[in-house]
Amino acid sequence: MPSLDPIPAQRNDQVEANSDDEADPELVELLRQHFGLGERPKDAPPETKVLEGAQYVFDNAIDIAVSLAHTKGAAETIWRMMQKKEYSTHTWSEHELHPQTKDESTVDFIFTMDLLNFSFWSDEEEEPKRFCIEYRGKLWTGYWSLVAALQRALDEDIPITTPDFWVDEERCTEELLKHVFRSATDGEIPMFKERVQCLREAGEVLCEEFGGSFVNCIDSANLSAAGLVNILTESFACFRDETVFHGKRVRLYKRAQILVADLWACFNGEDFGEFHDIDKITMFADYRIPQMLHQLNCLRYAPKLESHIRDLKPIEPGSNWEIELRGTSIWCVELIKREIEKQHPEVKMNRQNPHSKSISNGSENSETENSDENSIESGDKLKVVEKPGKTYGINAILIDFFLYDTMKNLEAEKNESIPHHRTRSIWY
């Protein structure tokens, strides 16, 4: 068997020093960097490598395929419908549960929200047994149950968004946290212990390394969305959403990326939400986007996987099926974005149109208007609306928000063509 040890370089005495036949060291280093064999320059812009890993998963997936024909068709319809709804960053704060202020307290809220933004789906068929939060005279489920619980705690003068409170176990006891997440039903919040652990660990990191404030993390990123994602995933274990697929490290980073996206949306791309490379953020690999992409016939599942999902059987975190579901979804949305940019290059110049007026938050249970002229039912029933007269920018974040909202509407109407996959995980 050949040795796997590197062969030491040997000088060829027949080649004179600095001759034309000697390799240019700068060219060699450039080629090494191009093929990933050398270290990145210190001043190179940050990269999350999420998209790179997603393409690798797509290239090596066995039980999930992407239909390029349906992806192209979906791209055009998604673009037209998003233009009609004027998707942008400008109404993130219009939901009654989202923070109305635009200051450091809002940053604290968003960090806490996305630190705990995972696994709200229920195994219970009966509504009275499902976890929900009662707040302001309404019952809130899914993602909104988390936001409602945080707002309710702040109303009760519990400093639930304060890192130094999380690490003070005499004040921030498990009993108090159970009170914060108390349900209006018999159901309990899923993965309570894991959420407590996330709070404790993140609080320690913020207090010990970032002066007790996530604002200092944002400052350290130097207006780079990718840089902030990397700070999150390198400094906080509970944001390090990565795995190994066929021998390669794959980064998925759902919650880290949606945290950056929520800052961008909340602050309308300004102040704490200003990032010069926001388009490096991919879609957020969770339950609903794979479900929606399958509904559009963009994703095709092998019969065994499809039966497994339809039977509501759990899929293990880190398994090949789970990684394929998440990775191919990221790549599929990237293909949709590229197709839109190819057919409508003007969207690149209008990413942050200041006059647009409608957005989702891209999280659990968000809602948008739904009518016959705007609806998406399946890949064979896409209805194309009239081309709008004004162009609004599109990126992977906004496409994710739109697909998520559409899937939630279809669920409410009981028009799902397939259930979402079941995986219990802190990553989404």
Catalytic residues: 286
| DSSP assignment letter at 270 | S
Single-letter amino acid code for the residue at 171: R
* Cα Rg of the chain, angstroms: 23
Q: What angle do CA 158, 160, 164 make, to 5 degrees?
A: 105
- Max CA pair span of the chain: 87
Q: 380 is written with which tokens?
A: 């064979």
Q: Which 3-state string (H, E, C) describes 140-187?
A: ECHHHHHHHHHHHHHHCCCCCCCHHHHCCCCCCCHHHHHHHCCCCCCC
Single-letter amino acid code for the residue at 162: T
Question: Which segments of 302-349 does DSSP mark as H helices, in order?
Answer: 303-310, 320-343
Contact 141, 115 (CB under 8 A): no
The three-state secondary structure class of 329 is helix
The three-state secondary structure class of 92 is helix
| DSSP assignment letter at 67 | -
Host H or E run for residue 50: helix 50-60
Residue 72 CA to its chain's centroid (Å): 22
Contact 109, 416 (CB under 8 A): no
Single-letter amino acid code for the residue at 198: C
Residue partners of 198: CB distance under 8 A and separation at least 6: 115, 116, 238, 426
